[in-house]
Amino acid sequence: MNIGIDIEEIERFAKYLKNKNCLQRFFVKEEISYSLQKKNAVQHLAVRFAAKEAVWKALRSTENIKLSIADISIKNTKDGKPYVCIKRKRCKKINISLSHTKKYVVAVAIVFDKIY
């Protein structure tokens, strides 16, 4: 089992809302759509980025695979629980928890077993 954590300042992500190239560099279409339909879109983008970083940190010590932030995506179940996809496939061997304040977002990822 490995753990990854990341914290981000929300303000840093405000510029991404204005730049579609930046959005597409870090997020898949579903993450962008989900976030943009929310009242505070920048907060949703920032917490997804933090989750991707937390997952990447937890995986880099356990997996011999090369992953970029774009290979990791964060989606939600119908009841709102976030989950991880690796290269667009749901990965049930990773749990995440997301939280935020007005200024910061934080995410923790726990990898329970090898994913490949």
Hey, is 85 helix, strand or coil? strand
Q: Which domains does the chain have, with CATH numbers?
A: 2-111 (3.90.470.20)
The answer to whether 63 touches 16, Cβ cutoff 8 Å, is no
Q: How high is the pLDDT of residue 62?
A: 62
pTM: 0.91
Tens-binned pLDDT, residue by residue, of the chain (116 aa):
889 999 999 998 888 888 888 888 899 999 999 999 999 999 999 999 999 999 999 987 666 567 888 899 999 999 999 999 999 899 999 999 999 999 999 999 999 887 76
Q: What is the Cα–Cα distance from 106 to 8, expressed in whole angstroms?
A: 6
User: What crossing angle do the helices spanning 41-60 and 29-36 adopt, rounded to 10°?
Assistant: 140
